[in-house]
Every structure is written in C-alpha cells, then in structure tokens.
Structure 1
C-alpha cells in the first residue's frame, strides 16, 4: 500500500469515527453524500449539521478495500461494518468515496455513497 493509500484509508475511517470538525476540514466544497433511505442525498453543509446531531460510531471495520486513482482523483470502495455503543446489531454497507487533491496537496472527500446491506448479508 502506498503512503497516499494509507492516508486516504485513515481519512475514510475518520469520517466514520470523528465529528463535525473533521467533516468541516475534509469535505470538499460542493461535496455530496448519497445515504440509504430515509436520509438520501445530502450536500456538504447538511451532512456536517447531521453529524453534529447524530451519535458517532463506536467502531468500524473496512474490508474488501480497493483504491482506484487517476491524477488528482481517487476512489475508495469497500465493505463497512459499523456499530454504535449499546447497539447489538451491526450496520453493514457497501461504500464508495471519491477524493480530490486540492491546490495545497490535501485530499478532500468530494462524494460518498453507501448501500446498506441486510442483516442476513455477512
């Protein structure tokens, strides 16, 4: 794994675990989140507001990971298994995030998509 890939995967996990301050610093202007129903589409500011109000994840595992890069754009795809403290049922999803490199070399999330998997999917 390259240094960039390590950095991107660390950032991706932080989006699951950290709060609104992280989102404000790492979501690109115009970012879009596509989340399972009933949430749906969320633009950058709405996503940050939602994170301020939502309980954060107690833990998350990212598996079946893949990275595709072309120039200043990288796409991460993976399977997420997350759980919240006190909740016995894990959340499972197939996810993809698109990152872009800004002018100062910082990689920012431009788009994120989650497809929730049923409880019977391992």
Structure 2
C-alpha cells in the first residue's frame, strides 16, 4: 500500500462511517483509546465505535510510516479532530495494518494518546 493510501485509510478511521470502520478492522484488532474502557479488542472495538459520534474532520500531521516486513505497515502521527458539535481532540496515534490478500489491508492495532502542549521532542 502506498503512503497516500495509508493516510487515506487513517483519515477514514476518524471520519468514515461505523460500517467503514468495521470493514477495516481485523477480527483480532487491539485498540487503546483515551477513554474507558481504554483497551478494546475485536468486536468490542467495533461496537464502541458504532456507539461513538464520528469526527467531522481530521488533520494528520508529523506522520511517519515504516514497513518492518512485507505485508505489515506501521503508521504514527498526530491527529487534530473536530466533531460537528465543536468537540475537539488532539492525539498522538499509531496504527498497524496487515495485508490479508492483494490490495486487502486490515487494521490490527490502533492507539490514541491525548497530546500535551509543547515541543514534539525534548532535547
């Protein structure tokens, strides 16, 4: 998967429908989010996302993509998201994508950590 497509998939995790999100998730996906219950696995992640208002817009910044082996992509980035009711979120995120078949990628890991104000890196 090319980098532009990785970022398109990541944006869809935030702004796409709950059905799109469910279709992207691997059945063994593990997620860590900054709200209870914090750790979500497989079907629990899909149900949690379905019950959560989707984000209207998201901007991804400071992105980094690595490919540790064929068929595995890890992305890290900062997300700025906004809901229609003006709720905002800024978070550092990681996602791991696994190729199931040609041109068929599934999310196996996603983590969000609230971003603190300040420099990107110390020192």
TM norm structure 2: 0.87
Query: Residue 98 of structure 1 aligns with which residue?
Result: 96
Query: Residue 77 of structure 1 aligns with which residue?
Result: 76
For structure 2, the 5+ residue unaligned runs are: none
Q: Which runs of 4+ in 1 moved over 3 A?
A: none
1:105 and 1:58, CA in 2 relative to 1: closer, same or farther beyond 3 A?
closer
**Alignment check: 8 A CA contact 1:81 1:91 kept:** yes
For structure 1, the 5+ residue unaligned runs are: none
- For 1:21 and 1:121, locate their aligned partners in 2 and report how far apart those are by CA, in whole Å: 36
- Counterpart mapping for 1:11-90 below 5 A: 11-69=9-67, 70-87=69-86, 89-90=87-88
TM norm structure 1: 0.88
- For 2:118 and 2:45, locate their aligned partners in 1 and report how far apart those are by CA, in whole Å: 27
- For 1:102 and 1:15, locate their aligned partners in 2 and report how far apart those are by CA, in whole Å: 18
The offset of 1:121, in angstroms, is 4.9
The offset of 1:108, in angstroms, is 0.9
- For 2:35 and 2:7, locate their aligned partners in 1 and report how far apart those are by CA, in whole Å: 25
Residues matched between the structures, number: 118
* 1:108 is aligned to 2:123: no
- For 1:15 and 1:82, locate their aligned partners in 2 and report how far apart those are by CA, in whole Å: 11
**Alignment check: 8 A CA contact 1:19 1:51 kept:** no
